[in-house]
Amino acid sequence: MSRRNRFLSVFTVLGTASLGLTCRSDRPLLTGIASSLSPSPTKQSGLLSCTPLRSTTVKQSVGPGGGTMVIGPHVFVVPPGALAAPVVITGKTTGDAGNAVYFKPAGLVFSIPASLTLSYANCNTLGSTASKEVAYTSDSLFIVYYVSSADAPSAKTVTGRIDHFSAFAVAW
């Protein structure tokens, strides 16, 4: 191989590698820590600020046939086949300034994803048309990651796919 061809090969490999290092994703990392390489100053992020709702607790047995729970203005749906045996599920809103639902038993996993529809009718969207998302959060409402979500702005609700239990809140 000539010296010129080796130089071009090395240059091509290094150029391709450096281009790969500059690529970035606008999706949040699974750790909940946003990449410093991809700031998006025009995109809102974080939990919505909402007028506190009345604290609500709903306890219901849901089995292999599925079920629906209404927790304040929020709706949780377990599809048929998602659970192998009946489980007593507790959904709770705390009346804090964010629209969040806490579920128990902690760690419950669904064979088929459940869905959680969160209302944000009582939230300040600052006139933004940015899509809302359902965020999986810690108990102290730190966003861990966003779940696959569908925003319905006219209904002021967002529906997210839930694979397991913890706390979930409306975010953007």
* Annotated domain spans of the chain: 49-171
pLDDT tens-digit profile, the chain (172 residues): 554 444 334 333 334 333 333 333 333 333 233 333 333 333 446 888 888 889 999 999 999 999 999 999 999 999 999 999 999 999 999 877 678 899 999 889 999 999 999 999 988 887 778 889 998 888 788 888 889 999 999 999 999 999 988 767 666 5
CATH number belonging to the domain at 49-171, selected among 3.40.220.10, 2.60.220.30, 3.30.1490.70, 3.40.640.10:
2.60.220.30
Nearest of 158, 133, 136 to residue 145 by alpha carbon = 136
Measure the CA–CA gap between 57 and 67, rounded to whole angstroms.
Answer: 16
How far the first Cα of the chain sits from its last, in Å, is: 55
pTM, to two decimals: 0.70
| CA–CA separation, 148 and 133 (whole Å) | 8
